[in-house]
């Protein structure tokens, strides 16, 4: 960093020694100015930005940290933007919820007070609630916006601020950028910290009942559940918000044998029993898997702190408890939904499913197999919500999801919903049982019918300002010099979502990508293998998504075919220098 840039960072920090900042904050800034230069730079070199998951960062002092001041500016900017967008409404309404993380209640109450100070009616949940329930409540209360305080599955040092629009989906362009412009124009002195407390209404159990009843109405196989209601299900909320509602909805579906892990039922932002509360990581599910082995449970489910993602484990053909990845779970769920919709005569030709561009193409194959339309969208569930909004009243959304363990069915929630997903996964298990099969058997049948798709994710972490710059250089390098070969096959297609252009490297032909601009690259070789490269919108990472596939003649060929695909992934990883 140059001296001029460092001077600007110090100037930004020194502004926090004046004005509306509390004494504890000022003392912390003084320490940073007198101490570690790197810590000072990381805390003040920029403002937190809305990415694919909204505002998210490490908690602490600074413009690049989650604290009451960054939350305050974001809320004041959002309040101003809402007033500009809904000038004719007598009362603008918002819903506010939070997860179990440290400071989440403080940030949620701060958010509610600032909205109220701006004359906006607030429905504030009385205690922690899942993110999908916040999405539901926006439409339920007829709100124009909503906020949930959460950092989803990030480590304990993080917290975040997700902003939603009146459809219950996270804000998408142009609203996200325009809100940021309002936030950037807002100084701390302009934040209205205290207002009319009469505008804040606490809500809770009455919404829980309505929301879980809506999930119950999605049930497609009540007879199968009734016949198999004793199946042993291990469920853990990993110290998060699923602790009440997931067991509630499983019981509403009819399941009676739900096994919990008492140590992980405690809502705790320090997540004391896990290194990271992310069900995508096997370590986060280790206690649940051990419990399944002890009790002989057939299904294991774990939700992240805000209960929008779910990881599952099932028994394989050898009786071993094995983890399924997000692509496998999503494929089973879509296959189950479409199979039952078809059997019940509900597929009329207007139905569709949605997945993200980094999610397995197996879902597309399944949709085509049922002659059901499917959509590919950019990474981020807000883009799935946008498709639902665009098709509302014209087509019917069956379900959708993303590889990062987020799934949705029905149209009353507009974000990924692990409460709903747990219920439908358990029902799919009961449906399989009624046919004398397991979910693992169903997965193998899907592979035989549609092909074995194998995905792999490599995360390269680059923290701080230097890391951001290095990630930018890596993306530019791939953009200017795409790989010529992947896995022993020539790269045939390069898709650049930033320039919104697809280039056929064999013919030289180009075409337009009909998606919003995004810093994403995709490389497809002549064999059909695909690599997607993108910086994370919520973490200091650059992500490499691999997708390879092969036909599988029967279930007995799984081990051999899977090993062949693993070799191909290893070669592609080597080709990319990872």
CA-based nearest residue to 373, from 408, 410, 334: 334
Report yes or no: 322 and 314 within 8 Å, Cβ to Cβ.
yes
Tokens representing residue 466 in the block: 């230097």
Give the Cα separation of 206 and 204 in Å (integer). Answer: 6
Report yes or no: 419 and 212 within 8 Å, Cβ to Cβ.
yes
Name the DSSP letter for residue 59: B
Give the Cα separation of 297 and 292 in Å (integer). Answer: 5
Kindly tell me the number of DSSP H helices and DSSP E strands found in the chain: 18, 23
Q: Taking the alpha carbons of 17, 20, 26, 29 in that order, is the dihedral positive or negative?
A: negative
Which phi-psi region, left, alpha or beta, contains residue 22 (left: φ > 0; alpha: ψ -120 to 50)? beta
Place of tokens 């498709």: 387
Give the Cα separation of 242 and 172 in Å (integer). Answer: 26
Report yes or no: 269 and 156 within 8 Å, Cβ to Cβ.
yes
Report yes or no: 131 and 99 within 8 Å, Cβ to Cβ.
yes
Tokens representing residue 362 in the block: 């197996």
Report yes or no: 152 and 309 within 8 Å, Cβ to Cβ.
yes
Written as one string, the DSSP assignment of 502-545 is: EEETTT--EEE--S---S-EEEEETT--EEEEEE-SSSSEEEEE
Give the Cα separation of 127 and 125 in Å (integer). Answer: 5
Q: Taking the alpha carbons of 242, 244, 247, 249 in that order, is the dihedral positive or negative?
A: negative
CA-based nearest residue to 238, from 456, 422, 401, 57: 422
DSSP-H helix ranges across 228-285:
242-253
Which listed residue (104, 137, 145, 152) is catalytic?
A: 152
| Catalytic annotation present for 152 | yes
* Active site members: 152
């Amino acid at each position: 960093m140059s001296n001029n840039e460092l001077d600007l960072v110090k100037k930004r920090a020194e502004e926090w020694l004046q004005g509306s900042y509390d004494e504890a904050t000022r003392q912390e800034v003084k320490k940073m100015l007198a101490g570690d230069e790197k810590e000072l730079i990381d805390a003040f070199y920029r403002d937190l930005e809305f990415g694919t998951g909204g505002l998210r960062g490490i908690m602490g002092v600074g413009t690049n940290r989650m604290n009451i001041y960054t939350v305050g500016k974001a809320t004041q900017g959002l309040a101003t933007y809402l007033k500009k967008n809904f000038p004719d409404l007598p009362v603008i309404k918002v819903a506010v919820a939070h997860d179990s993380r440290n400071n989440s209640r403080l940030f949620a109450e701060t958010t509610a007070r600032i909205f109220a100070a701006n004359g906006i009616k607030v429905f504030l949940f009385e205690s922690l609630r899942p993110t999908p329930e916040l999405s539901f409540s926006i439409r339920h209360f007829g709100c124009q916006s909503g906020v949930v305080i959460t950092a989803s599955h990030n480590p304990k040092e993080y917290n975040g601020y997700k902003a939603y629009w009146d459809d219950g989906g996270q804000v998408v362009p142009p609203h996200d950028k325009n809100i940021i412009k309002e936030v950037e124009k807002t100084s701390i002195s302009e934040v209205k910290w205290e207002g009319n407390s009469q505008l804040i209404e606490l809500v809770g159990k009455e919404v829980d009942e309505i929301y879980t009843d809506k999930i119950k109405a999605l049930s497609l196989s009540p007879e199968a559940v009734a016949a198999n209601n004793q199946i042993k299900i291990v469920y853990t909320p990993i110290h998060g918000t699923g602790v009440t509602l997931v067991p509630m909805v499983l019981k509403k579906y009819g399941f009676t044998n739900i096994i919990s892990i008492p140590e992980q039922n405690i809502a705790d932002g320090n997540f004391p029993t896990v290194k990271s509360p992310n069900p995508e990581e096997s370590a986060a599910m280790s206690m649940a898997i051990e419990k399944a082995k002890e009790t002989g449970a057939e299904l294991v489910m774990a939700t992240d702190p805000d209960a929008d993602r779910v990881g599952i484990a099932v028994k394989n053909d050898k009786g071993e408890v094995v983890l399924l990845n997000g692509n496998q779970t999503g494929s089973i769920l879509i296959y189950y939904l479409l199979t039952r919709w078809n059997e019940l005569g509900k597929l009329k030709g207007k139905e569709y499913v949605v997945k993200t561009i980094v999610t397995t193409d197996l879902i597309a194959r399944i949709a085509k197999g049922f002659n059901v339309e499917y959509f590919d969208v950019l990474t981020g569930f807000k883009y799935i919500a946008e498709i639902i909004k665009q098709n509302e009243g014209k087509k019917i959304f069956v379900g959708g999801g993303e590889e990062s363990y987020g799934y949705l069915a029905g149209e009353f929630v507009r974000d990924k919903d692990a409460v709903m997903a747990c219920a439908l996964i358990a029902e799919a298990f009961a449906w399989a049982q009624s046919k004398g099969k397991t979910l693992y058997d169903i997965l193998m049948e899907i592979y035989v019918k549609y092909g074995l798709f194998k995905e792999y994710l490599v995360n390269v972490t680059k923290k701080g300002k230097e890391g951001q710059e290095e990630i930018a250089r890596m993306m530019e390098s791939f953009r200017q010099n795409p790989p010529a070969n992947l896995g022993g096959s020539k790269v045939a297609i390069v898709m650049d979502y930033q320039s919104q252009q697809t280039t056929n490297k064999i013919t030289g032909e180009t075409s337009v990508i009909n998606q919003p601009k995004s810093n994403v690259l995709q490389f497809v070789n002549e064999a059909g293998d695909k690599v997607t490269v993108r910086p994370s919108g919520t973490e200091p990472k650059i992500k490499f998504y691999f997708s390879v596939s092969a036909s599988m003649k029967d279930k007995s060929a799984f081990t051999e075919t899977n090993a062949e695909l693993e070799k191909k992934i290893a070669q592609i990883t080597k080709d990319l220098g990872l």
